Amino acid sequence: MKKKRSKIHLAAIVTFGLISSTSFLLLLNKGAFEAASSKTLNCHSAFEVKGTEDLLVLSGGRALISSQDRIAKLAQKQTENGKLLLLDLEKEVWIDLTIGFNRELQPLSMSAFTSPHKTTLFVINQTQDGYQIERFALNGDHLEHEHTYKTSLLVYPAGIAAINHEEFFLMNAYGLYTESGRLLESILPIRLSHILYISESAVKKLPFRFKKGHGIAYEPNTKVLYAADMSDKKIFAFHALETKNQAFREWSLDTHPAQINLDRKAGGIWVTAYPNLYQQSSHNRDPINIAAPSQILYVGAENNRSKNSIEAVHFGNFPSFSGASTVGRWKDKLYLGAPFAKHIMRCYYEISPRYSNVMSKDLKPRGENIVFSKQKQKRPETIYKEKEIKIL
């Protein structure tokens, strides 16, 4: 009898949650593009890259891209590995860094840490056996695999942020492992999404909790950790070394933030966002027939909590480009990628006077110009190190 009652109570909770979530999604569907101070981007197709997951702009006019054929994967026809690409943004050409990589690679979000003599790349890899993190060293146009991080705490990785050449933060969008558990997380007022600190030898949960965390970014000079909560429509800034679940700054948005990328020259962050989360979810299920609008936000490094510190730009529906997932700036251009698009979009951005003094400092590329090797079939050297990480 008790078991029967508990099942009835659980069914009632789930039914109530589903009704609430349906009403919530209907409200989302009405509120698209009502963010203040938005402007339209002038965008054009730049070069062909199938299925961009993430894009990182480096110094010297270089950029890294993680990509995989999401449409083939959705149709369960994908048999090939994903790719990590190195771009020359001046010439708008790219080379495949992972030709000959002899392990499964389905890259999602990534993060890079650069010192004077080395660039380290951390990549979320969604294999058939589960999630793991791959660490690579980038030397010129050559990628060397260094380490694989595995732990049972990789529940549903959505974002990653490098701390140094060996450590990083990782955002789990959910706290429960099963599909039914994630459904309950989505419809009930519980916060199980969290951030992990991971090194070669240990992993531990940070105290910060979110409704549905997504992108994160870490500024090593200030030790500030930025995090996006897609469900709560907020961006938070934490002192990464603190033990309290309290942000020292937060931005409330009129849209749902997804991925975050640092703008190291200007000192702020670029954010991709979805004004209509229901439409974005529908696009993820049927990307060929359903389009989804996107927005790009620039959050300036100003010492206040007001909305005036946010610069919003509107990215509408293009016939073959929808649901932008990542953005990076180089000079006066923004480069946008989307998981179901077949190309990278180049957008010309009119810089507001508020940020023009900061942004104009890097109109000329710094550092060494990348020289692309003519031999594009170079096999990445691989040094495999695998072990289960100790949970603290």
The answer, yes or no, to whether residue 369 has pLDDT greater than 60, is no
Record the pTM. Answer: 0.81
d(C-alpha 236, C-alpha 227), whole Å:
5
Q: What are phi and psi of 197, to 5 degrees?
A: -100, 130
Residue 147 has pLDDT above 50, yes or no: yes
Average pLDDT, the chain: 79
Residue 47 has what pLDDT?
Answer: 84
Strand order of the β-sheet with 234-239 is 213-219, 224-229, 234-239, 249-252
**Order of strands, edge to edge, in the sheet holding 333-337?**
42-48, 343-348, 333-337, 326-330
Tokens of 306: 């007001």
3-state secondary structure of 141: coil
pLDDT per position as a tens digit, 305-326: 444 467 766 665 555 678 899 9
Select from 78, 70, 86, 162 the least CA-distant residue to 124.
162
Q: Is 143 helix (H, G, I), strand (E, B) or coil?
A: strand
* Complete domains list, the chain, with CATH: 32-388 (2.120.10.30)
CB 194 within 8 A of CB 229: no
3-state secondary structure of 335: strand
Q: pLDDT value at position 294?
A: 86
Q: Check residue 82 and give its pLDDT.
A: 93
Q: 2-16, 35-49, 127-141, 376-390 — which is least confidently predicted?
A: 376-390
Whether the pLDDT of residue 164 is over 60: the answer is yes
Whether the per-residue pLDDT at 165 is higher than 80: the answer is yes
The pLDDT, as a whole number, for residue 88 is 93
Which among 392, 339, 386 has a CA at the least distance from the CA of 129? Answer: 386
Q: Comparing 4 with 110, which gets the higher pLDDT?
A: 110
What is the pLDDT at residue 301?
62
pLDDT at 22 over 90: no
> In this predicted structure, what is the pLDDT of residue 257?
95
**What confidence score (pLDDT) does residue 302 get?**
53
Is residue 261 scored above 50 in pLDDT?
yes
Is the model's pLDDT at 356 over the cut of 80? no
pLDDT at position 241, please? 76
> For residue 12, is pLDDT > 60?
no
Write the pLDDT tens digit of every residue in 270-295. Answer: 999 998 888 999 998 998 899 888 88
Over residues 197-254, the pLDDT tens digits come to 999 999 999 999 999 999 999 998 889 999 999 999 999 999 987 767 789 999 999 8
Strand, coil or helix: what is 237?
strand
**pLDDT tens, residue by residue, 169-183:** 999 999 999 999 999
| Residue count of the chain | 392
Give me the residues paired with residue 337 across strands: 326
What pLDDT shows up at residue 320? 61
Q: What angle do CA 378, 383, 387 make, to 5 degrees?
A: 145
Q: Between 347 and 66, where is the model more confident?
A: 66
Tell me, what's the pLDDT at 264?
Answer: 79
Q: Which residues contact 60 (CB under 8 A, 6 or more apart)?
A: 365, 366, 367, 368, 369, 370
